[in-house]
Amino acid sequence: MSDATEELERKRAEANARADEHRARRDKLNTEARTLADERGRILDELHARSADAQEHRRVRDQLNADVREAKRLREEWNHKLQEVGDRLQELKRTRSAPLRPGAAPVWRLRKELKELEFRHMTTALTGDQEKRLVEEMKRLEAAIRDQDEQLRQDPEIDSTLKAFQEARIEAERHHAAVGGLAVDAQREHESMVALYESVDELRRQADEVQAKLIEVKGAADEAHRAHIASIEEVRDIEKLLYAARGGRVPAGWTDAEPPREEDFLARLKKGEKVSTQDLMELQKKGRG
């Protein structure tokens, strides 16, 4: 039985070597799987953080857009009020701007003459004396207009209407500036949101790639683990055969069937076929018989 024992020992050594190889491969794959799982976790953490940032930019953008709509409403409201007050002011000036001194020209005529002189000054080639006289006349008209404006302001209704006009103009300009500033801020928040969502899409793609690789590696690790277990079981089966070959007790209940021949037994071992402990016991019995 020495040949059979040696063959079994060789088979056991080979099975042990395979078990070690499968275990080493399994452990390496499990390490790689843990690394991939950590990488996937890192990517997902970053993805969730950027997604939260993007949602915050969206919230701020939406609020700013609502503020823009409100600022536009107020701007239109104050523009309408400015137009109304302006029309009222012009009407008051027209009806109450009669010359306060006998022979004085009404203020509307003074303004008309001043505009004509300003246009002439800008478009006509003048001699030095002509330009000097023209400028002096323009100054006289401006002084006359200021004088009549100051007298008009003595009228309580004109004064209050003028103050209302100035207030409406300031408010309209303020809300107009607010519309522009809020719109710029809203656009900036929108662009930040879009950039973050694009990076989230890229991170999601990376996470999907890592997940696919993780599934592949875990599947290979599971396969290596099953191969390792199978090799361990093979070692245990061979050790049982070695135990029997070295004189272990034959369990009761085995049949008295025709025992295998030793050359057939060795041939089966060398082919890698499964042989049972019962076959080995029967071969031992035949050898002792």
Output the six-digit token pair for 166.
């100035």
Type of residue numbered 227 = A
Q: What is the pLDDT of residues 69-125, one digit of tens each?
A: 999 999 999 999 999 998 998 888 777 655 555 556 776 688 888 899 898 888 888
Tokens (6 digits) for 204: 């999601």
Domains, the chain, with CATH or none: 2-248 (1.10.287.2610)
Q: Residue 104's pLDDT is what?
A: 65
pLDDT band at residue 143, thresholds of 50, 70 and 90?
A: confident
Least confident of 113-117, 191-195, 274-278: 274-278
DSSP codes joined into one string, 213-270: HHHHHHHHHHHHHHHHHHHHHHHHHHHHHHHHHTTPPPPTT---PPPPPHHHHHHHHH
Is 259's pLDDT higher than 60? no
Burial of 176 per CB tally in 10 Å (0-12, 13-18, 19+):
middle
Give yes or no for residue 45 having a pLDDT over 80. yes
Burial per residue of 101-121, b for 16 or more beta-carbon CB atoms within 10 angstroms, e otherwise: eeeeeebeebbebbeebeeee
Name the band, by pLDDT with cuts 50, 70 and 90, for residue 7: confident
Stretch 217-221: mean pLDDT: 96
- Average pLDDT of the residues in 126-143: 89
pLDDT computed for residue 43 by the predictor:
97
pLDDT at 38: 97
Tokens read off for 260: 């295998």
Give the tokens for residue 143. 């002084």
Tell me the mean pLDDT in the region 192-206.
Answer: 97
Q: What are the angstrom distances between the C-alpha of 200 and each of 56, 75, 192, 197, 257?
A: 14, 38, 12, 5, 73
Residue count of the chain, please give it.
Answer: 289
Residue 251 binned pLDDT confidence (cut-offs 50, 70, 90): very low
pLDDT confidence of residue 276:
52
- Stated pTM of the model: 0.59
pLDDT band at 253 (very low <50, low <70, confident <90, very high): very low
Supply the mean pLDDT for the chain.
Answer: 83
Question: What DSSP string describes 14-79?
Answer: HHHHHHHHHHHHHHHHHHHHHHHHHHHHHHHHHHHHHHHHHHHHHHHHHHHHHHHHHHHHHHHHHH
Range in 131-135, 137-141, 187-191, 280-284 with the lowest mean pLDDT: 280-284
Alpha-carbon distance of 145 to 147, in angstroms, equals: 5
Within its chain, how far is the Cα of 261 from the centroid? 75
pLDDT of residue 3: 73
Question: What's the confidence (pLDDT) of residue 144?
Answer: 84
- 276 conformational bin, left if phi > 0, alpha if psi -120 to 50, beta if neither: beta
